[in-house]
Amino acid sequence: MSKATELRALLSGDRMVRTVGARDGLSAKLVQEAGFDAVWASSFETSATHGLPDASLLTMTQFLDVAEAMNLVVDLPIVADCDTGFGGPLNVAYAVQRYEKRGIAAMSIEDKMFPKMNSFAATAQHLVSTEEFVQKIQAGKQAQESGDLLLIARTEALIAGFDLDEALRRAHAYADAGADAILVHSKSRNPDQVLGFGARWDRDVPLVAVPTTYPVVSEKDLYEVGYRLVIYANHGMRAAIKGMRATLADLARSDSAAGLEDSLASMAEVFALQNMPAAFQELA
C-alpha cells in the first residue's frame, strides 16, 4: 500500500487524522516517534530554517527535496505544503508530477497570488480568482499518473478578510473541480469561523483545519462538523526555538557546558534518530 493510499484510508476512517509540521528528516522522525498519523512538510518551517520569511523565496526543488528527505526516513505519509503551487496551472501540473514520483502522499495548494506571503503576516493578502484556481486544481489532477496522491485545495478567503459565504463559494468550486480535500484557513483567535464553515459544508469531501491561532478548539468539535485532518503546523519548530534560546542563553552566561547536560538529549538519542550503526555508538 502506498503512503497516499494509506492516507486516503485514514481520512475515510472514524477518527481525526492528526498531523504535525516538520522541517527536515530529524523533525519528521520526532513527529513519528510521538505517535502522530502524518507529517506536514511545512513551507513556513522550511523557510525559517533558511533564515528567510515564508514568502515564496525558496524554489519548488528546495521544498521538494525537504519533503523527500522526510519521506525517506519515516513510515508516515507526507502532506506537502506547496504554497500557491509555484505558479500557474502548468507549474502545478509539473509539481504534481515531481512530488508524485518521489512518493509524497498529498500536496496542499492555496488560492493566494504568487508570490505569497505568510497568512499571519501583517500585510494584505491577495487571492487569485476562483476560476484561475479551479484551473490549477484541474491541471494538477490531470497530471497525476495514478489516482493515489491527494490534492488539497486551501482557501485563504477568511485570511483575506472575506466572509464565510465567499469561503464556501470558493471551496464548493474547488471540490467540484476535483480537490480531494478542502483546507479552510483562519487567523481568528477563536474557532467560530472554521466551525461555522464546517457546519455549512455540504460536499462529500473531507475538511482540513490548522488551529494555529485558535488552539482552544478540540479535535472532537472539529470532527463533528466534518473536519477529518488537523494540522499542528509549526508547534515543533516554535518549541525548538524556545528551547535552543534558553539553552544558548544559559551557555552564554557560563564558562562551561557542565550545567546543561541534564537538559540535553544524549548522544545516544541523537545516534538513534540518525540510525547510526551500533558498532559506531561507543561515545554514546
State which CATH number among 1.10.3720.10, 3.20.20.60, 3.40.50.720, 3.60.130.10 fits the domain covering 3-239: 3.20.20.60
CA Rg, the chain, in Å?
20
pLDDT for residue 238: 97
**CB-count exposure of residue 1 (10 Å: 0-12, 13-18, 19+):** exposed
Beta strands in the chain (DSSP E): 17-22, 38-41, 78-81, 106-110, 150-155, 181-184, 207-209, 227-232
Average pLDDT over residues 212-222: 98
Tell me the pLDDT tens digit for each residue of 35-88.
Answer: 999 999 999 999 999 999 999 999 999 999 999 999 999 999 999 999 999 999
The yes-or-no verdict on residue 279 having pLDDT over 80 is no
Report helix, strand or coil for 224.
helix
pLDDT for residue 72: 98
Average pLDDT over residues 85-111: 98
Provide the 10 A C-beta neighbour count for residue 45. Answer: 23
Q: Which residues contact 38 (CB under 8 A, 6 or more apart)?
A: 7, 10, 17, 18, 19, 76, 77, 78, 79, 105, 229
Tell me the pLDDT tens digit for each residue of 167-203.
Answer: 999 999 999 999 999 999 999 999 999 999 999 999 9
**CB-count exposure of residue 158 (10 Å: 0-12, 13-18, 19+):** buried
pLDDT for residue 284: 52
Nine-digit cell at 67?
519533503
Nine-digit cell at 122?
501583517
Tell me the pLDDT tens digit for each residue of 224-253.
Answer: 999 999 999 999 999 999 999 999 999 999
> 157 - beta bridge partners?
none
> For the chain, what percent of residues have pLDDT higher than 70?
99
Tell me the pLDDT tens digit for each residue of 122-172.
Answer: 999 999 999 999 999 999 999 999 889 999 999 999 999 999 999 999 999
Which amino acids are annotated catalytic?
Answer: 54
User: For residue 23, how far is the Cα from the chain centroid?
Assistant: 10
DSSP letters, 98-143, are HHHHTT--EEEEESBPSSP--TTSSS---BPPHHHHHHHHHHHHHH
pLDDT for residue 1: 86
**Residue ranges covered by each domain of the chain:** 3-239, 241-280
Identity of residue 267: M
**CB-count exposure of residue 242 (10 Å: 0-12, 13-18, 19+):** exposed
The yes-or-no verdict on residue 283 having pLDDT over 80 is no
- Residue-averaged pLDDT of the chain: 96
The yes-or-no verdict on residue 22 having pLDDT over 60 is yes
pLDDT for residue 281: 73
